[in-house]
């Protein structure tokens, strides 16, 4: 299955429903270790705000101020999740709007919001001692987005220097391979594992040590790459 075969909007709505259902399972004040000092409340408020902002971007409009006030956390999230999903459905995939790469189709946000929500669903459920189930193809698409969209954007915005080390990534369960870093040179290091583990590695949620990922080559070079802000 390729990225183009994924129904990003349907998957987004599925992951949103799972996240909404999880809000009631994890106390609001629970720390979320994968998000620094955030609690569940701060994580969910952040994602709700991102949904609201992405809906405006997809429409090509400026974002309207968003305040939760006294609205319960789960209701606040549900409203913002519905806003972005409904907006993307109404616009259709080819509607012109704004993307992180400049003017582009609304379909950009179907994919971007899916992976934003999936990673934060992992954050939320992990904070509550719960697991996340998503198909390897979806996690592989998360990896692909980092390699081809998010990390190059970090360089373009001068948040990090261009990588001078090539890292080969292999998702064993999805049959996918990527090159992170410059092409035309031999990779200094290769990392293989599940698509989920690779995605979480690139998003700073997992380290290369342990049973989840196999590293071959220059481990110190990999550490230097991972120390860079590959994603916002």
* DSSP class of 192: E
Q: Which CA distances in Å does 49 have to 54, 66, 79, 113?
A: 9, 7, 11, 12
Q: What 3-state DSSP class applies to 98? A: strand
Higher local confidence (pLDDT), 209 or 207: 207
**Given this structure, which CATH class describes domain 3-134?**
mainly alpha
pLDDT in tens, 41-87: 999 999 999 999 999 999 999 888 988 888 999 999 999 999 999 99
Are 195 and 143 in contact by the 8 Å Cβ rule? The answer is: yes
pLDDT band at 4 (very low <50, low <70, confident <90, very high): low
Residue ranges of the alpha helices (H) in the chain? Answer: 8-23, 40-59, 73-91, 107-127, 136-145, 151-156, 195-202, 219-226
Tell me if the pTM is above 0.85. yes
pLDDT in tens, 96-112: 999 999 999 999 999 99
Domain boundaries, given as residue ranges, for the chain: 3-134, 137-226
Q: CATH 3.30.1050.10: does it fit domain 137-226?
A: yes
Residue 211 has a pLDDT of 84
């Amino acid at each position: 299955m390729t990225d183009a075969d994924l129904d990003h909007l349907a998957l987004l709505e599925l992951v949103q429903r799972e996240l909404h259902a999880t809000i009631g399972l994890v106390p609001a004040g629970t720390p979320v270790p994968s998000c620094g000092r955030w609690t569940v409340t701060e994580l969910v408020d952040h994602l709700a705000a991102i949904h609201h902002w992405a809906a405006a971007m997809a429409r090509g409009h400026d974002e309207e101020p968003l305040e939760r006030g006294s609205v319960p956390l789960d209701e606040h999230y549900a409203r913002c999740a519905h806003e972005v999903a409904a907006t993307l459905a109404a616009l259709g995939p080819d509607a012109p709007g704004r993307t992180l790469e400049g003017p582009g189709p609304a379909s950009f946000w179907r994919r971007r919001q899916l992976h934003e929500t999936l990673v934060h669903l992992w954050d939320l459920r992990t904070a509550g001692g719960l697991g996340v189930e998503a198909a390897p193809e979806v996690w592989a698409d998360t990896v692909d987005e980092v390699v081809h969209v998010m990390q190059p954007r970090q360089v373009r915005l001068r948040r990090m220097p261009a990588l001078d080390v090539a890292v080969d990534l292999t998702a064993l369960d999805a049959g996918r391979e990527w090159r992170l870093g410059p092409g035309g040179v031999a990779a200094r290091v290769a990392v293989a594992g599940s698509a989920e583990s690779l995605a979480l590695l690139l998003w700073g949620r997992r380290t290369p040590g342990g049973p989840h990922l196999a590293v071959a080559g220059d481990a110190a070079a990999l550490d230097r790459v991972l120390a860079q802000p590959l994603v916002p």
